Amino acid sequence: MEFRLLGAVSVATEIGELPLGPAKRRSLLAALLLRPNHPVPVDQLTAALWDHEPPQRARSVIQGHVSRLRVLLAGADAEMFGVELVTQGPAYVLRMPETLLDAHRFEELVTLARSQRAPADAVAMYQEALSLWQGPALTGAYPSQPLQAAAHALEELRLTCVELLAAGYTRMGEHARAAAVLRAEADVHPLRESLSAGLVRALQRAGRRSEALDWFHRTRRLLADELGVDPGRELADAYAVVLRGEDDDAAQAPAPVPPPVPVPVPVPVTAQVPSSVLHSGTVDLLPRMPRGFHGRAAELTALSRVAAGEAPVCLVTGPAGVGKTALVVHWAHRNRDRFPGGLLYADLRGFSDTGEPTLVEVLREFLLALGVPPRRIPESASGASALFRSLAADRQLLVVLDNVRGSEQVRELLPGGARCVTVVTSRYRLRGLIASDAARPVPVDVLEPEDSTALLAAVLGKERVLAEAVAARRLAELCGGLPLALRVTAARLADQPDWSLSAMSVELSDESRRLSLLDVEDTGVRAALRLTVRRLPEGAAHHFAHLGRHPGTHVDRYTAAALADTDPDTAEAALDRLTAAHLVTRTAPDRWTLHDLVRLYARGLDTGPDTLVRMLDHSVATALAAAGAAEPGDESCFAQPADFHPPQAVREFADRDQAMAWYAAERDDLTLAAAAAHTAGLHSRTWRIVLAMWPQMVWRVLDGWTPLLQTALEAARADADTRAESRILALLGWVLTEEGRTHEALVHLEAAPVLASRAGDARGEATALVNLSLAQAALGSPEEAAEGCAQAARLARGANDRHTERLALYHLARHQLAAREWQSALETSTAAHALDDPSDTSAASRVLLLTVAGEALLGMGAETEGVRRLEEAAREAESCGYDDGAVRALGALLRVSADVGLQARYDTAMVRLMAGT
């Protein structure tokens, strides 16, 4: 007599197979054979025979099948072989010698073969073991969850035996036979990488290199198409051996033997009722409902929408302390009725000091919750995962995997059932999980001010928060809307009921103390960030620490590279990792920012004294590159200091538009950089940063530059650089003149040319004289102004500086216009045009000279030609966004025309100019 599970479930006797009858009866026998000589409770048998709600007469049906089996066994004289089906309390036991069971003999043969020293003996035993298989395990049984899990585990054992057989052939040097054995199984199991790796090696050893390469690429494409993953290490190593064309010395050595796989048994979910099962019968491992939860309506809706799909995986991501776990647990409790199959939860501790649980530990907890007895849980991760998937296949489960570090942590924990929902939370974006399992991201950001104050009110009480509404909003701002920071703040205030919210906001305003105030016991922003940073690769951690030394609010890849003393490509890769870890936020294609509290944490990391200087020198170098593109042909307004730290790469600007766009985007950060340099006493860097911004000051003169220029002036004087002082005085005086503060301007402008002459700076002296002339003209001294411009033109001509000479002639022409010397103004502007430098693509000088010529022609009575030049100037100014030039040209046109369209254009340009946009 032989009992068979390795193929169709059957009982063979001397006179033929017993007529077992329907699938339910075969399933009952299979469940008993999988646990021979052990009591199998009726509840377990019920789970093996029915997937869903069993019929009310399930016990009677089971009793009927047991009775029929007893009749069949008695008719085959089973007692002669020591076989007996008996009742033992609320269970049944199939007593029998286990040698009568093919699965048991298979396991014994595999174990015995593994102990053989002679490869030929081992091969013979593996062949005999495999001969016991006559088809897929448990064929003919009802495909219930427990029996499917058992069949899958038995198949895993068979495949392991096949791999061992191939290894035996390899040790015997019979590589073609090894390849043949593996090829047959790899065709059926194309995603099993160990089979493909063994086949690739066997083909290489057999001298069939092209076939080996072809099989690898076939498997690689299949893994990418089906799973969205690359080949694992074993398959990749096999491919590398083939590429090197090696004979693979491993072929001559004993092949590594995989560990034994125990024969699994099915464990119906009703076997035990652990403490995690509620009175309602629903498994529930969720943490308690979070208290004080508020807001997040959009995120809750997004979770529900994603969860409505088939077998969805929701990926909830966000920075440390943003409240991902609270959001998911709150949502899970609110939606528990949607998951009658159970609610499973595991903290994978991806960002914890205590270490991550192993995959087997998590699966063991899940399987215990689902009713699997401890002794029946497979020891291997693959076996436990297979059993979990089988048990979850037809359940409506929610699986919450919290604090995940990487995609590989969760793939074996995904239930995969069509009605199951998996929610993963992580500080990382886990793009691999999105690629391989179509995970749908649900990003979680900081709270809005209203929700932040509501969170405070949930802890402190509405009355206390409403009594200091302004202070509460300020606390929310200082906490950056981060729920963890808000809860710590609320905890401190709750612990001290006499402490006002205003007093707390004053303390938090001190950046040097803010992070320490946002820590309480073992919880806080600093602790959460420390654990996130600890998980970073070395390069990303290096860049993150240096980002804290940036005084501005945004960085690009060039700035990040300068801070960390690397190159832009390396910096961009690091920024990408930091973005994935939610430590920085990408706001534009080449623009990143840090949350205020993250910036404070990074600032507290030790990076050495040179970081700030490198960043400042990078700012100066980039601003000079922008100035060169914005005003081509114009010489640099200063040389770099002797201790200048040149960055590894400087951003390039294709044209003026790119340069001016960069100035506009970086103005605030350049201002903050100058302030940081001034505070640090780095005077030579302070005035250089400001002075390198001169093209933007010229372009947007009415944009509040005076305070910044005054800071630069203080730095130049502290640096004892007379040349720089004269340049800044000239620029500051011109800005004050344009702002209408002419008398203040005159004080600076009269000193500027004297200092420039003393420094031997002819170009600077010429520029200062031009700017002085503007103030003189505004104060009613046109002759003196014109004389200064003529002197400036002579100085520039002597220095062979066509750019400054043209500037001086332009202003001389304007003074001549003011004196109604129309012909002289036209001649002077024409002479300025003749000095046009082909390398100077700036629109400003062309617009201004066209405007002067047009006004001169109008004064001479040549209205048609004058209007033509003024219209040309206006159109060019409008096309390039030069609002000041557009206002000048359109204003001149309006003096001879009342056209409504001209007035509208003038008003638009004036509004833009005054708004500084």
What are 50-89's pLDDT values in tens digits? 887 888 888 888 988 999 999 888 888 888 888 899 998 8
Co-location of 404 and 472 in the same domain: no
**Whether the Cβ atoms of residue 360 and residue 379 lie closer than 8 Å to each other:** yes
| Residue 312 forms part of a structural domain | yes
CATH of residue 139's domain is: 1.10.10.10
CATH of residue 863's domain is: 1.25.40
Co-location of 160 and 34 in the same domain: yes
Co-location of 777 and 906 in the same domain: no
For the chain, the domain total comes to: 6
* CA atoms of 322 and 481, how far apart (whole Å): 8
| pLDDT value at residue 734 | 93
Which residue, 152, 172, 192, sits at the end of a domain?
172
Co-location of 364 and 467 in the same domain: no
- Model pLDDT for residues 538-577, shown as the tens digit of each residue: 999 999 999 988 998 899 999 999 999 999 999 999 999 8
| pLDDT value at residue 523 | 66
| Residue 500 forms part of a structural domain | yes
In the three-class reduction of DSSP (H, G, I as helix; E, B as strand; rest coil), residue 276 is classed as coil
| Residue 229 forms part of a structural domain | no
Angle between helices 102-114 and 119-131 (to 10 degrees): 170
Co-location of 143 and 25 in the same domain: yes
255 pLDDT higher than 70: no
Q: Which of 123, 131, 109, 137 is nearest to 4 (CA)?
A: 137
| Residue 211 forms part of a structural domain | no
- Model pLDDT for residues 15-42, shown as the tens digit of each residue: 888 998 888 899 999 999 999 989 999 9
Co-location of 874 and 725 in the same domain: no
Co-location of 507 and 585 in the same domain: no
For 425, the token pair is 């939370």
For 640, the token pair is 């770099």
Co-location of 56 and 165 in the same domain: yes
Which residue, 608, 636, 659, sits at the end of a domain?
608
| Residue 856 forms part of a structural domain | yes
* Structural domain that includes position 149: 1-172
Burial of 639 (0-12, 13-18, 19+ CB in 10 A): exposed
Mean pLDDT of 812-827: 91
- Model pLDDT for residues 654-671, shown as the tens digit of each residue: 988 899 989 988 999 999
Tokens 């960002």 belong to: 351
CATH of residue 737's domain is: 1.25.40.10
* Distances from the Cα of 726 to the Cα of 512, 690, 771, 807, angstroms: 38, 14, 12, 18
| Residue 750 forms part of a structural domain | yes
For 187, the token pair is 């065709």
Q: Which residues contact 900 (CB under 8 A, 6 or more apart)?
A: none
258 pLDDT higher than 60: no
Instruction: Report the Cα–Cα distance between both ends of the chain, in Å, rounded.
Output: 93
Co-location of 437 and 455 in the same domain: no
Strand locations in 106-183, DSSP E? none
Quickly list DSSP for 532-569.
HHHTS-HHHHHHHHHHTT--SSEE-HHHHHHHHTS-HH
* CA atoms of 741 and 480, how far apart (whole Å): 40
364 pLDDT higher than 90: no
* CA atoms of 356 and 767, how far apart (whole Å): 67
**Whether the Cβ atoms of residue 549 and residue 636 lie closer than 8 Å to each other:** no
Quickly list DSSP for 181-218.
HHHHHHHH-TT-HHHHHHHHHHHHHTT-HHHHHHHHHH
* CA atoms of 491 and 499, how far apart (whole Å): 12
* CA atoms of 68 and 79, how far apart (whole Å): 16
**Whether the Cβ atoms of residue 98 and residue 78 lie closer than 8 Å to each other:** no
* CA atoms of 768 and 798, how far apart (whole Å): 16
* CA atoms of 722 and 744, how far apart (whole Å): 20
* CA atoms of 501 and 475, how far apart (whole Å): 8
Co-location of 87 and 41 in the same domain: yes
Which residue, 572, 587, 608, sits at the end of a domain?
608
Mean pLDDT of 281-290: 78
Mean pLDDT of 303-325: 86
DSSP assigned state of 319: -
For residue 226, name the pLDDT band (cuts at 50, 70, 90): confident
**Whether the Cβ atoms of residue 315 and residue 443 lie closer than 8 Å to each other:** no
For residue 819, name the pLDDT band (cuts at 50, 70, 90): confident
Mean pLDDT of 117-125: 87
- Model pLDDT for residues 137-162, shown as the tens digit of each residue: 999 888 888 898 899 889 889 999 99
| Residue 251 forms part of a structural domain | no
For residue 273, name the pLDDT band (cuts at 50, 70, 90): very low
Co-location of 26 and 161 in the same domain: yes
Co-location of 594 and 482 in the same domain: no
In the three-class reduction of DSSP (H, G, I as helix; E, B as strand; rest coil), residue 762 is classed as helix
| pLDDT value at residue 479 | 87
715 pLDDT higher than 80: yes
| Residue 34 forms part of a structural domain | yes
Specify which of 220-234, 551-565, 579-593 reaches the highest per-range mean pLDDT: 551-565
